[in-house]
């Protein structure tokens, strides 16, 4: 029966993983707030679940060796680099045990069989989790020892103090960071959607961000294997250079805060970049370069994803599925204060073509554009950033 149950686990439906994710994120808020860590945690849970199930298909009931493969080690190392508490599998264990009990009740026809199945499997799962946690803890301690000896650890420590508002003098922070704080800053978060790729490429994107700001030595902090926090002094940023660097690096993305002064500005611009990163990840957006100045309203609205989806549907109606060309036409028209002349110039289109598109939009919108232009513009901005609609 253990082998039968393990085979069911290997073919687990998506709903199981959704429940694992919900419980794990609720118990690990520091992970839930970071898209890169959250994705790593989800991979770790799936890896460990499949590891245990595959072992029990091969040798039912036998001790399962710990899972100290790349997925659980990745999340553990990233949390060590952040100085965060270790990731706990216990919420996932609770969910897994409940689902395993459901499987047991379906497979066992005799109470004694069920009792033996649950007894053996409970010891197997508990021992596997304990062994995995111990193996990872040893690796994490080694990681912490190595980090404590490196300059990146010092940068992380000092930036953490600044970001947390802890008492540290500007002069001391500057000396340890090698970066002046008594000026205006632009903060950015660079991360990768491809954790198995060449993550050293992120450092090249960070350098390119510095070049785009005319600053050869940006302050770069390795927040995790797949994330870099970067600061440069105020400048007229070469946006095209940033875009080329990101687009030339598979999986790379960048979120950029606004210009802000002093230590408080150092903190604020970084938090703006983090907010932008979370919005992009939460919307599953295809956009790879995002500025807080462009998405501030969208980030605010999408804090409640379901409400944002309702807003889009109520505001746009059938126009939601009209296609990007019609969406771009209407958004440009609204942004140009409903000027036909300026809109035709920006879109390089004929006046009659523009009027036909606007007429088609009016047919699809639930309310006349002249009475709903602000709401329509916000909904269209949301569509530009949204990847997959929320389900």
**Structure-model confidence comparison of residues 154 and 237, the more confident one:** 237
Residue closest to 222 by CA, chosen among 199, 254, 197, 194: 199
Residue 261: what are its φ and ψ, rounded to 5°? -95, 150
- Token pair, residue 322, equals 């009209």
List, for residues 51-94, the tens digit of each pLDDT value. Answer: 999 999 999 989 999 998 888 888 887 777 665 666 667 777 88
How far, in Å, CA of 382 to CA of 282, rounded?
A: 12
> Which pLDDT score is estimated for 391?
46
For residues 17-46, give the mean pLDDT: 85
- The per-residue pLDDT of the chain, averaged, comes to 89
List, for residues 265-284, the tens digit of each pLDDT value. Answer: 999 999 999 999 999 998 88
pLDDT greater than 50 at residue 18: yes
Residue closest to 97 by CA, chosen among 88, 89, 108, 87: 89
pLDDT greater than 90 at residue 259: yes
List, for residues 346-355, the tens digit of each pLDDT value. Answer: 999 999 999 9
How far, in Å, CA of 78 to CA of 150, rounded?
A: 15
List the CATH code of the domain at 305-385. Answer: 1.10.10.2840
> Which pLDDT score is estimated for 211?
94
How far, in Å, CA of 182 to CA of 178, rounded?
A: 13
Residue 200: what are its φ and ψ, rounded to 5°? -65, -20
For residue 227, the cross-strand partners are 191, 224
Edge-to-edge strand ranges of the sheet holding 227-233: 219-224, 227-233, 184-192, 252-261, 289-291
For residues 304-320, give the mean pLDDT: 92
- Token pair, residue 175, equals 């000396």
> Which pLDDT score is estimated for 52?
93
The DSSP secondary-structure symbol of 84 reads: P
List, for residues 120-169, the tens digit of each pLDDT value. Answer: 998 999 899 889 888 888 877 776 666 555 577 788 889 999 999 888 88
For domain 183-299, say whether CATH 3.30.70.3270 is its number: no
Q: What is the gyration radius of the CA atoms in the chain, in angstroms?
A: 25
The DSSP secondary-structure symbol of 259 reads: E
DSSP letters, 311-362, are: HHHHHHGGGGGS-HHHHHHHHHHHHTTT-HHHHHHHHT--HHHHHHHHHHHH
pLDDT greater than 70 at residue 245: yes
């Amino acid at each position: 029966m253990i082998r039968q149950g393990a085979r069911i686990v290997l073919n687990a439906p998506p709903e199981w993983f959704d429940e694992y994710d919900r419980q794990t994120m609720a118990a690990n808020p520091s992970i839930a707030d970071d898209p890169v860590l959250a994705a790593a945690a989800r991979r770790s849970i799936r890896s460990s679940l499949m590891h245990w199930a595959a072992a029990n298909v091969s040798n039912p009931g036998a001790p399962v060796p710990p899972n100290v493969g790349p997925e659980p080690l990745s999340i553990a190392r990233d949390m060590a680099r952040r100085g965060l508490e270790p990731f706990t599998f216990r919420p996932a264990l609770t969910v897994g045990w409940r689902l395993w009990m459901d499987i047991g009740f379906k497979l066992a026809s005799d109470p004694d069989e069920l009792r033996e199945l649950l007894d053996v499997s409970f010891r197997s799962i508990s021992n596997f989790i304990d062994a995995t946690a111990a193996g990872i803890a040893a690796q994490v301690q080694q990681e912490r020892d190595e980090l404590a000896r490196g300059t990146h650890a010092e940068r992380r420590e000092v930036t953490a103090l600044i970001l947390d508002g802890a008492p540290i003098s500007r002069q001391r922070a500057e000396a340890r960071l090698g970066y002046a704080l008594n000026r205006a800053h632009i903060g950015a978060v660079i991360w990768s959607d491809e954790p198995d790729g060449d993550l050293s490429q992120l450092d090249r994107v960070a350098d390119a961000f510095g070049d785009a700001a005319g600053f050869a030595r940006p302050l770069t902090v390795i927040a995790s294997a797949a994330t870099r926090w970067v600061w440069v002094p105020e400048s007229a940023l070469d946006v095209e250079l940033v875009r080329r660097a990101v687009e030339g690096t598979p999986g790379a993305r960048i979120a950029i805060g606004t210009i802000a002064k002093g230590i408080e500005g150092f903190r604020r611009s970084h938090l703006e970049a983090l907010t932008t990163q979370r919005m992009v990840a939460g919307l599953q957006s295809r956009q790879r370069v995002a500025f807080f100045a462009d998405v501030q309203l969208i980030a605010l609205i999408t804090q409640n994803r379901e409400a944002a989806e309702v807003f889009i549907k109520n505001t746009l109606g059938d126009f939601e599925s009209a296609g990007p060309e019609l969406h771009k036409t209407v958004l440009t028209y609204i942004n140009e204060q409903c000027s036909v002349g300026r809109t035709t110039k920006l879109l390089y289109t004929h006046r009659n073509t523009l009027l036909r598109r606007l007429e088609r939009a009016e047919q699809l919108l639930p309310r006349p554009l002249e009475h709903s232009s602000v709401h329509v513009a916000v909904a269209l901005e949301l569509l530009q950033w949204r990847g997959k609609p929320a389900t």
